[in-house]
Structure 1
């Protein structure tokens, strides 16, 4: 299946999303913030199929991470998550590099469907 990097500063969210996506057989790596996620991407030479990142995080937020990841690894599919309307608005201009923005809170089925859709779109491209 796919290699997915999850970046979220809330441990409970990383665990929930990681378990949900792993149910579909994906290989999951997690990061506590955008800076750690970018370090992982650079270390692994961008060898991930999907970056799933929260927008609002300390150190480096998800939008800065998405911009850096898209610059360095243009083949990487990016999916953002947020529970804040203002953060969703900030992401609205990133359609060229971000597949979608998933609104928190979400059901396990919703995040699994969003990931499946992002991966299907990636394969079709």
Structure 2
């Protein structure tokens, strides 16, 4: 199982890896297109994807929509600093994402969601 964390800012990626890198196989991506390339190289039974919503070029929901077209072994989560907008709400309704995390990241909340996703495939 791999946890793919997608954020265009380097500091959140570094923090995420420091928190979760010893517990899970973590992989970092700095954009939606970068994350799609990294997903293509994975052969895991399950990939947990946590992506920032606001990123240049391709936002988190658009990235996850593309990822879901190609891969069916994803448990997807959005991380946002803004109030939930209609696009995020629609992604939840369409079962594109399982949960929305608010910034700043709550490590115990994220870990609980990862563990829940793992328990569904174990």
Which TM-score band applies after superposition, normalised by the shorter structure?
0.7 to 0.9
1:52-110 Cα distance to aligned partner (Å, 9 max, x none) = 111101121111111011111022111111111154x4211122121111011133323
**Could you tell me how far apart the structure 1 residues matched to 2:84 and 2:12 are?**
20
Question: 13-22 or 103-112: which moved more?
Answer: 103-112
In structure 1, stretches of 5+ residues that fail to align are none
1:118 corresponds to: 117
Aligned residues, how many? 119
2:59 corresponds to: 61
**Could you tell me how far apart the structure 2 residues matched to 1:99 and 1:9 are?**
21
- TM-score, with structure 1 as normaliser: 0.82
**Could you tell me how far apart the structure 1 residues matched to 2:77 and 2:38 are?**
17
**Contact 1:17–1:111 (Cα < 8 Å) also in 2:** no
- TM-score, with structure 2 as normaliser: 0.84
**Could you tell me how far apart the structure 2 residues matched to 1:76 and 1:86 are?**
22
2:35 corresponds to: 37
What root-mean-square deviation, in Å, do the aligned CA atoms of Structure 1 and Structure 2 show? 1.9
**Could you tell me how far apart the structure 2 residues matched to 1:36 and 1:84 are?**
23
Match of 1:91 among 88, 92, 97: 88
Which 4+ stretches in 1 moved above 6 angstroms? none
